[in-house]
């Protein structure tokens, strides 16, 4: 269904979201969207500055009578996660996101939507353009590369901002105010496989694990969604020997912060066994659907002919070793918080596998709201890699955001929410990573909360944003600015 943007409220926010959606803005490809945001500030006659990495800051003076109010920072990130299913034709470096209305939701046509964090950025732009809001002095900070490295936040200089309180607009649940988030780190594991010639008479095929839901590796990790890479390892361990499969290449997943939905293995085999393999995979598909039930109803494991015959394949020993590594890898929720109800404390995401000749690379990400637990998961991953003959490189990661239940801004947020909506908001911490902890470290004493509309299935092609919740989000943001 096409979208009549004039039917959506608030019109100014949706106008800016539509404009952002037309600009390719995958992580590390934010030059055009940074320029667009800066140009919007200049069009409005507002002071604009941009730092060396591409962060944009636009300031707006207070409205009449609010000149003595504290300066409030509105903050969001310009980049989006670029995910699509393998059968969708879309080039994230040049194609606009195609928006679709589906009842009370806006989604994209076969790709991620970019409501994370396009809605937050659109809201800040709408505030800058609005002439009917009451607010104190404002600084609107648009950061780059949040999704793949938090680069903008890490490179923010200590003199870039002057505000004393910050509204981060990057969480995804209407009626909730967030005051803390997990920290995270990445592990990159590599191994070399011995390459040999394929067996005589064997033909190339591709084994496909498809149809999984995927999702955000922080927000959705507690739901027990399936991991395509682990399934691929399971499939290969069950079929390598019985069907005489030889592995030429493995690939799956695309983002370290997204649960992988699809995974593929290019194999060679006796073509006479292809029919029996297809039957075995159909049985395994049925078993997995029974195991995962309503969580993953679309699971499908298939085999199809592959046009390009590989010149080399992994040795049998290395094929089984890599398959076993995937099958046995840690993935999912590892611990719940003993202090905050319903909060995942520690998790890990088996995210990406790539093959380049003899080199196999596996990328993983780990999160925890407890720094020592985050490091311990890294140690477990390293131990698993060592046992499987992989070399692992790990970064220091990024810090969490420690909750401050005594925050004056939080108290104001509760009072405003109760006045506007007739009830206090839920006060929560989130297992996903936010820029708040990094920015807070650079500006000691900065009072920070985070809120946003309802966004479902972020980091996957089923991402969607609730239209009514965007209206509520705008109403709350406007009231928070007026109350400063």
Helix/strand number for the chain, H first, E second: 11, 25
Radius of gyration of the chain (CA): 24
Closest CA to 219 of 434, 371, 430: 430
pLDDT reported for residue 2: 61
Shared domain for 372 and 449, answered yes or no, is no
Q: Among residues 394, 415, 442, which one ends one of the domains?
A: 394
CATH number, domain containing residue 462? 3.40.630.10
Shared domain for 332 and 256, answered yes or no, is yes
Shared domain for 371 and 415, answered yes or no, is no
| Domain carrying residue 259 | 185-266+301-394
Q: Which residues, given as ranges, of the chain have pLDDT below 50?
A: 1
Has residue 276 been placed in a domain? no
Has residue 292 been placed in a domain? no
Shared domain for 248 and 336, answered yes or no, is yes
DSSP state of 104: T
Has residue 288 been placed in a domain? no
Strands 165-168 and 447-450: parallel
Shared domain for 210 and 233, answered yes or no, is yes
Shared domain for 448 and 469, answered yes or no, is yes
Active site residue 129: no
Shared domain for 155 and 42, answered yes or no, is yes
Residue of 40, 79, 174, 435 marked active site:
79
Shared domain for 9 and 100, answered yes or no, is yes
pLDDT reported for residue 1: 46
Shared domain for 361 and 460, answered yes or no, is no
Shared domain for 208 and 308, answered yes or no, is yes
431 alpha-carbon distance from chain centroid: 12
Phi and psi for 273 in degrees, rounded to 5? -95, 0
Shared domain for 198 and 120, answered yes or no, is no
Number of Cβ within 10 Å of residue 258's Cβ equals: 25
Has residue 274 been placed in a domain? no
The SS3 of residue 468 is: helix
pLDDT reported for residue 6: 79
Distances (CA, A) of 476 to 132, 187, 363: 15, 39, 39
Tokens 């002919």 belong to 305
Q: What is the rounded CA–CA span in Å between residue 24 and residue 35?
A: 12
Residue of 83, 129, 139, 146 marked active site:
146
Distances (CA, A) of 166 to 447, 471, 481: 6, 21, 11
Has residue 289 been placed in a domain? no
Active site residue 116: no
Distances (CA, A) of 310 to 59, 265, 322, 354: 57, 12, 18, 16
Sign of the alpha-carbon torsion through 466, 472, 475, 478: negative
Distances (CA, A) of 83 to 27, 102, 114, 456: 12, 19, 10, 14
Q: What is the rounded CA–CA span in Å between residue 46 and residue 284?
A: 60
pTM for this prediction: 0.86
Report the number of distinct structural domains present in the chain. Answer: 2
Q: Among residues 348, 376, 394, which one ends one of the domains?
A: 394
Has residue 273 been placed in a domain? no
Phi and psi for 47 in degrees, rounded to 5? -65, 135
Has residue 62 been placed in a domain? yes
Has residue 432 been placed in a domain? yes
Q: Among residues 367, 394, 421, which one ends one of the domains?
A: 394
Shared domain for 33 and 74, answered yes or no, is yes
The residue length of the chain stands at 484
């Amino acid at each position: 269904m096409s979208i009549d943007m004039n039917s959506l409220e608030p019109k100014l926010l949706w106008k800016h979201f539509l404009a952002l959606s037309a600009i390719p803005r995958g992580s590390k490809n934010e030059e055009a969207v940074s320029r667009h945001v800066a140009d919007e500030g200049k069009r409005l006659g507002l002071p604009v500055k941009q730092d060396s990495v591409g962060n944009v800051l636009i300031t707006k003076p207070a409205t009449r009578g609010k000149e003595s109010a504290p300066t409030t920072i509105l903050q969001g990130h310009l980049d989006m996660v670029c995910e699509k299913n393998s059968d969708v034709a879309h080039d994230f470096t040049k194609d606009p996101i195609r928006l679709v209305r589906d009842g009370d939701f806006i989604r994209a046509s076969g790709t991620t939507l970019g409501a994370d964090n396009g809605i937050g950025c659109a809201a800040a732009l709408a505030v800058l353009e609005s002439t009917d809001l009451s607010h104190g002095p404002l600084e609107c900070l648009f950061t780059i590369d949040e999704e793949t490295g938090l680069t903008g936040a890490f490179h923010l200089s200590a003199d870039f901002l002057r505000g004393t309180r910050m509204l981060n607009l990057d969480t995804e649940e209407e009626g909730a105010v967030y005051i803390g988030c997990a920290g995270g780190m990445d592990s990159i594991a590599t191994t070399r496989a011995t390459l040999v010639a394929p067996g005589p008479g064997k033909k190339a095929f591709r084994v496909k694990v498809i149809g999984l839901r995927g999702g955000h590796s922080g927000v959705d990790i507690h739901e027990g969604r399936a991991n395509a890479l682990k399934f691929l390892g399971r499939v290969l361990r069950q079929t390598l020997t019985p069907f005489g499969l030889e592995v030429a290449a493995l690939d799956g997943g695309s983002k370290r912060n997204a649960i992988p939905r699809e995974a593929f293995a290019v194999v060679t085999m006796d073509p006479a066994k292809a029919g029996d393999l297809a039957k075995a995979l159909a049985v395994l598909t049925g078993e997995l659907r029974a195991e995962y039930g309503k969580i993953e109803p679309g699971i499908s494991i298939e085999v199809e002919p592959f046009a390009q015959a590989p010149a080399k394949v992994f040795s049998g020993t290395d094929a089984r070793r890599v398959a076993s590594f995937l099958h046995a890898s840690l993935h999912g929720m590892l611990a719940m918080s003993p202090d905050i109800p319903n909060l995942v404390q520690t998790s890990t995401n088996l995210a990406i596998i790539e093959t380049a000749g003899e080199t196999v690379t596996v990328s993983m990400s780990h999160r925890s709201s407890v720094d020592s637990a985050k490091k311990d998961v890294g140690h477990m991953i390293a131990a698993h890699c060592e046992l499987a003959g992989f070399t692992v490189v790990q970064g220091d990661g990024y810090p969490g955001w420690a909750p401050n239940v005594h925050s004056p801004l939080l108290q104001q947020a509760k009072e405003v929410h109760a006045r506007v909506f007739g009830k206090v908001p839920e006060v929560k911490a989130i297992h996903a990573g936010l820029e708040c902890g990094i920015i807070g470290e650079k500006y000691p004493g900065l009072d920070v909360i985070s809120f946003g509309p309802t966004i479902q299935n972020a980091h996957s092609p089923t991402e969607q944003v609730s239209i009514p919740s965007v209206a509520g989000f705008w109403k709350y943001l406007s009231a928070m600015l007026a109350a400063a």
